Structure 1
């Protein structure tokens, strides 16, 4: 699920390096030193933090931090470990801390300044999500677990967000995305679903293979959105015009996670096995990748007629 609500020199020479590899048909920038197992989540640093930093969690039990430089190059900065796969990550509002959720049934708070991590949550089953929550009279961290519970914890280090979300998008394993607004004037008209990540396109009577939507991310400036799927493609959408802006070429692995940086000029996406076909299709020889794309123009909404 994803909530919605000045240009730089990035990409002025880092993007578009020639390649014939099927793992990178879009010729995007590869992040150095990716995880050794499937990448489950990506998150860029918040606006309060100078520069761009990318956090990624993986099934190798680790969470990694890279600095993304203006020329598109990446520098590994730090790494922390869980005792089980890391399924989700999020940032504190000031960018000083990262929160991680793991199959080891714990959530941790990682202080990037000291490079120390402490446990802040415990569940009876793997923790699938971790989120910063802003309510009218309090701020907290929420964890969601496969033990069928949500837990909220007060973390007193945050500043208020500038904007309240207007709604959310929810993806499914059935190749669909639902757009829901919070308190819309006309729910039957304003809320809608659309098809995506299918073979032979979405507007055909031909039998289709349907793929899971693995992640959704909203552009922080334009309000358009990106979806990534088990079909190995990413797509950009204009929810207001209810139209597709772009679909990528097909990668040779599923795309498992995606994220925009705080001003929307960098789109990060991860290519790795998503376990949708079970362990018998897992190839340990396959390398995992994180790519960076300058998608500023591609995410601009369609002109209204």
Structure 2
């Protein structure tokens, strides 16, 4: 990586194994990092000081805060979703799957924790219910889940075989929409627009699609896909990298993508232009998140094993202090 600026700092105690997810708390004060070391590491976002470690018996594939900074949910290879008190470090099993829990999402509007797994199930529960009183909803997906996101009343799941299911959390008996991904290859990342208009998804084949919920023909005509996270090899042929991570800025509407090429791009989705490319990291960018107040970007640099088992740089987590030039759409003079 190029020398970081004064506005970037590296967390001093990064997870020691692959990083699955980084995510800010609702107030932007805390940062969580789920890892294959079986823990969710919680840090003070302003200083990088580690505040807590929350342990599963095996790799944690996803985590997110719930309605407040105090509580967090996580899921992983142990087939459980756990609900944590970040202050005390105490946790309870909230949901169970029949295979690994690939991704979790929490809807603050509906107070619902959603988990999607390799068992092709989407499970929903209110984490405020006690474990004995909780009555989860379990929905059958068409194939194993790879990515999950939500906004407002909607939650979106991308699965194997290029399926994308959109659910309305007010009525989940049937999907609101069943879609086929615009991307020809497996979905690796998915994130809903803060505006609620649609979502972006990234594939293992270095492409991003931008799609919209409104089924009207004039709105669907706006969807598009583009190539990214590619480098020209010594032989002049494109080397294509997976798009591992996507994150929307909460106010400007731009979005960031992170790939196995170690690069983070910031895009203006409306103008279909790149706003910024950050200095390259030493290994794959595995996860990204903007803070809810829009002032910071968290970047997990962690080898994603696209090239199999090999020596690789150690895991690192970076927090970038943002300026308008980093994330604001460019206005022509």
> What TM-score do you get using the length of structure 1 for normalisation?
0.81
Per the alignment, do residues 33 and 142 of structure 1 end up closer, same or farther by CA in structure 2, a change over 3 Å counting?
A: same
- Unpaired stretches in structure 1, ≥5 consecutive residues: 1-21
Secondary structure (helix, strand or coil) at the match of 2:303 reads: coil
- 2:101 pairs, out of 127, 133, 144, with 127
Secondary structure (helix, strand or coil) at the match of 2:221 reads: helix
> What TM-score do you get using the length of structure 2 for normalisation?
0.74
CA contact (8 A) 1:29 1:291 kept: yes
Tell whether 2:123 aligns with 1:93. Answer: no
CA contact (8 A) 2:19 2:36 kept: yes
What residue is the counterpart of 2:137 in the other structure?
A: none
Secondary structure (helix, strand or coil) at the match of 2:231 reads: coil
Which residues of 2 match residues 187-202 of structure 1 at below 5 A?
187-200=219-232
What residue is the counterpart of 1:271 in the other structure?
A: 301
Instruction: Return the alpha-carbon distance in structure 2 between the equivalents of residues 80 and 113 of structure 1.
Output: 10
What residue is the counterpart of 1:260 in the other structure?
A: 290
Instruction: Return the alpha-carbon distance in structure 2 between the equivalents of residues 278 and 269 of structure 1.
Output: 22
Q: Greater RCO between the two (CA within 8 Å, min separation 6)? A: 1
Instruction: Return the alpha-carbon distance in structure 1 between the equivalents of residues 9 and 87 of structure 2.
Output: 27
Tell whether 2:247 aligns with 1:217. Answer: yes
What residue is the counterpart of 1:182 in the other structure?
A: 213
Task: Report how far residue 132 of structure 1 moved.
Answer: 1.5
What residue is the counterpart of 1:295 in the other structure?
A: 322
- 1:147 pairs, out of 119, 122, 139, with 119
What residue is the counterpart of 2:10 in the other structure?
A: 30
- 1:82 pairs, out of 56, 76, 87, with 56
What residue is the counterpart of 2:30 in the other structure?
A: 53
Instruction: Return the alpha-carbon distance in structure 1 between the equivalents of residues 36 and 127 of structure 2.
Output: 27
Instruction: Return the alpha-carbon distance in structure 1 between the equivalents of residues 33 and 248 of structure 2.
Output: 18
Shift >3 Å, 4+ stretches: 24-27, 160-164
Task: Report how far residue 296 of structure 1 moved.
Answer: 2.8
Task: Report how far residue 252 of structure 1 moved.
Answer: 2.1
List per-residue Cα deviations over 1:177-206 (Å, max 9, x = no partner).
Answer: 1111121642442111111100049xxxx5
Instruction: Return the alpha-carbon distance in structure 2 between the equivalents of residues 236 and 146 of structure 1.
Output: 30
Secondary structure (helix, strand or coil) at the match of 1:199 reads: strand
Which residues of 2 match residues 3-18 of structure 1 at below 5 A?
none
CA contact (8 A) 1:42 1:258 kept: yes
Instruction: Return the alpha-carbon distance in structure 1 between the equivalents of residues 4 and 318 of structure 2.
Output: 9
Instruction: Return the alpha-carbon distance in structure 1 between the equivalents of residues 127 and 39 of structure 2.
Output: 23
- Unpaired stretches in structure 2, ≥5 consecutive residues: 130-150, 154-193
The structure with the largest strand share of the pair is 2
List per-residue Cα deviations over 1:8-49 (Å, max 9, x = no partner).
Answer: xxxxxxxxxxxxxx4x54443101211001111000011xx3
CA contact (8 A) 1:93 1:161 kept: no
Task: Report how far residue 263 of structure 1 moved.
Answer: 1.1
Task: Report how far residue 221 of structure 1 moved.
Answer: 1.1
* Aligned length, in residue pairs: 266
Instruction: Return the alpha-carbon distance in structure 2 between the equivalents of residues 296 and 84 of structure 1.
Output: 38
Task: Report how far residue 140 of structure 1 moved.
Answer: 1.8
Per the alignment, do residues 161 and 180 of structure 1 end up closer, same or farther by CA in structure 2, a change over 3 Å counting?
A: closer
Instruction: Return the alpha-carbon distance in structure 1 between the equivalents of residues 40 and 86 of structure 2.
Output: 12
RMSD over aligned Cα atoms: 2.3
What residue is the counterpart of 1:11 in the other structure?
A: none
